[in-house]
Structure 1
Amino acid sequence: MVSCPSGTNMRRADTPPRIPGSVGFGNRSCSPAFANRIVAVSRMEVIRRDFRREGFSEPLVNLLVAGNRSSTLSTYESAWRNWIDWCFRRNENSLSVPLKSVLEFLTGLHRDGKSYNSVNVHRSMLSKTLPAVDGHPVGTHPLVKNLLNGCYNLNPPKPKYNCSWDPSIVIQFMAQLGKNESISFPSLTRKTATLLALASLLRVSELAAINFQSINFSEESVKFSLLKPRKAQHSGPLQTISIPAIPEEDCCPVHALKAYVKLTGPFRGNSNINQLFISVISPHGGVTANTISRWIRITLKESGVDTSVFSAHSTRGAAASKASAAGISIDEILKAGHWKTESTFSRFYKRTMEPSIVPAVFQLDGQVLMS
């Protein structure tokens, strides 16, 4: 392992050295404190400026920036703000600091009780933002890698839940709401979102990305695609999801979706024609993942699930655990949940369920789940 002297500044090999203690903005140099105030506006402006400095055209810059998804950019922006604040308090130049400062920053996150995943996000953000050091991206420098190993060994990632709730109680609750055509718009919206989450194992961000115009009903199922790739998808066409219908119409995701599509038809126009889920309040614009998450939490709470413990995201683990207990093959579960390996499912999602006396009739990829 090659160590780096504590005073070594991080610079890109193909850019001219900066004046010690300052950072350049165009032809202008400024103090670390002033630089931090400017850079605090946006991490992406720093990235774009560096690309332009290399002489890259604006279309090229836009493609390079699009290499990270909006959710990743938002996460990195939050981590960047933490880095800016840390540097400002120490009068450090946030764009050109000794490696020692990066190590101390990450150490401080660990000392403050941040999880390994949180520390790793900050490491990744710095690696994709700051100049290289000793010929390494800062995030892959041997000392930084060793520090992350230490964080993992001392505070390894822990599963969010030790057990799971039984989808049976939620399905039974929604069946008791009555016919889809007779319940209110907000109730049908929450019911449809929750049933689709359980039947498809989609994340709330993926539910928000269901392409309304791709929905295709048949006598026995519904098929639809998403407006963007799934979380772990980095190649190939947009995925098509197929959900089979079940005889019990009052708790069938296909029948709920069909009723929802019919009910929302008069509310759709050019501004919301692509997104399946729209606001229950006029002018009925497309909704974000946060709104869908809130809808599902309301349904879970009304069903008797402890939402002080379980979030909307827990529908993935609950439905997948139910499928596993019902004997559905692990390959089918991994495919539906878009998990690459069985170890990921087993470690973070597969859980024993809290006791339930309510029978369930539900399907995952055409196979019936019975309690």
Structure 2
Amino acid sequence: MIAAKSAHSTLSKYESYWKHFISFLKTNKLDVSEHVLISFFFKLFKQGLALRTMSAYRASLADPMFYGFQIDTNSKVFRDFFISCRTRRPITKTLPPQWEVYKVLQYLKTSQFKNNKTISLPALLLKTLFLIALATGSRISEIAHSLCPVECLRNWLDITSEWPNPNNFIWFNAATQKPANNRILVLRFRQLINLSHAHNTKSNFHQIRK
């Protein structure tokens, strides 16, 4: 009943964190204690986890520790530990994107990308991904008339229609003809952005998501 205070999605994430903690105990042959829990958090810190993620671990373990072992994760020792972590690794502000849409659009008008009939498959993937992203991100007004996402997508679907695709995926790795995961797609975005800015930018995954 107490666990029902959290949403199902939250409980699923908490369960994965709990399994990680249990694995830590078994690997190191440890019993639950306040000192061991601090050691676990310190291990996460040394691994480079963000403080926000560490706080999520802390929240996931709060109830099991309190009701099962009478350990209060909000006690002074834990508060001091997390303050120390924040001091040693200050939270950095997210910088605004350092790339510009219009530069990418201008780059897509160059000879390498201009003709959708003769364009290479990797280039077509880059072009289609970017234009579809703009169109579905309420930024359709930024797409020039000569850069039609529908035409690009139609060509992409025609070319890939014969590829094995039992699950009706749209995006593929152009080199392997296998469905592309999110990371592959983001890497393709970053590739296009870096090319269009002559590699004079530092686009990261967060900026691309924006």
TM-score by length of 2: 0.68
Show the counterpart of 1:187.
123
Query: Which amino acid letter does the alignment assign opposite residue 103 of structure 2?
Result: I
Cα RMSD after superposing both structures:
4.2
Q: Partner residue of 2:5?
A: none
Select 1:158's aligned residue among 92, 99, 109: 92
2:20 is aligned with 1:80: yes
Distance in 2 between residues matched to 1:183 and 1:163, nearest whole Å: 29
The percentage of counterpart residues that share the same residue type is: 17
Is residue 188 of structure 2 the alignment partner of residue 292 of structure 1?
A: no
Q: Is the 8 A contact 2:130 2:189 kept in 1?
A: yes
Aligned residue in 2 for 1:280: 174
Which letter does structure 1 place at the counterpart of 2:208?
Answer: T
Q: Return the alpha-carbon distance in structure 1 between the equivalents of residues 182 and 200 of structure 2.
A: 17
SS across alignment from 2:64: coil
Contact 2:32 2:69 in 1 (8 A): no
Deviation at 1:134, TM superposition (A): 3.0
The answer on 1:263 being equivalent to 2:197 is no
Q: How many corresponding residue pairs?
A: 198
Distance 1:106 1:245 in 2: 47
- Mapped partners of 2:10, 2:49: distance in 1: 28
Task: Give the 3-state SS of the residue equivalent to 1:278 in structure 2.
Answer: coil
- TM-superposed CA distance for 1:148, in Å, is 6.8
Runs of 5+ consecutive residues of structure 1 not aligned to the other structure: 1-63, 202-241, 318-371
The one-letter code sitting in structure 2 at the alignment partner of 1:101 is V
The aligned amino acid for 2:79 is N
The aligned residue for residue 146 of structure 1 is 79
Query: Over residues 152-194 of structure 1, what are the superposed CA-to-partner deviations in whole Å (9 max), with x where a residue is unaligned?
Result: 7524432343552111111111122212222011110111122
CA separation of 1:192 and 1:163: change in aligned 2, threshold 3 A: closer
The answer as to 2:109 corresponding to 1:175 is yes
Q: Distance in 1 between matches of 2:197 and 2:126?
A: 15
Does the 8 A contact of 2:97 with 2:203 survive in 1?
Answer: no
Structure 2: distance between partners of 1:194 and 1:139 = 50
Q: Distance in 1 between matches of 2:114 and 2:123?
A: 10
Letter aligned with residue 291 of structure 1: I
Q: In the alignment, is residue 106 of structure 1 matched against residue 41 of structure 2?
A: yes
SS at match of 1:164: coil
Change (3 A) 1:82 1:290: farther
Paired residue type of 1:278: F
Question: Does the 8 Å contact 1:199/1:253 carry over to 2?
Answer: yes
State the partner residue of 1:197: 133
Find the counterpart in structure 2 of residue 347 from structure 1.
none
User: Match for 1:146: what amino acid?
Assistant: R
Partners of 1:159 and 1:82 in 2: how far apart?
A: 33
The alpha-carbon deviation at position 297 of structure 1 amounts to 2.0
Are residues 175 and 162 of structure 1, via their aligned partners in 2, closer, same or farther at CA, if it must alter by over 3 Å?
same
Give matches, 1:169-248, under 5 Å: 169-176=103-110, 177-201=113-137, 244=140, 248=144
CA distances 1:235-267 after superposition (whole Å, capped 9, x unpaired):
xxxxxxx88587735433333223222322232
Gaps of at least 5 residues in structure 2 are: 1-7
Contact 1:192/1:256 (8 A) holds in 2: yes
Q: Determine if contact 1:272/1:286 at 8 Å carries over to the other structure.
A: no
Asked if 2 retains the 8 angstrom alpha-carbon contact of 1:185 and 1:280, the reply is yes
> Whose helix proportion is higher, 1 or 2?
2
More strand by share: 1
Structure 2: distance between partners of 1:107 and 1:81: 12
Q: CA deviation at 1:295?
A: 1.5
Once the two structures are overlaid, the 10-residue window that deviates more, 181-190 or 256-265, is 256-265
1:146 deviates by 2.4
Counterpart of 1:290, as a letter, is R
CA shift, 1:120, in A, is: 2.6
Structure 2 residue identity aligned to 1:183: I
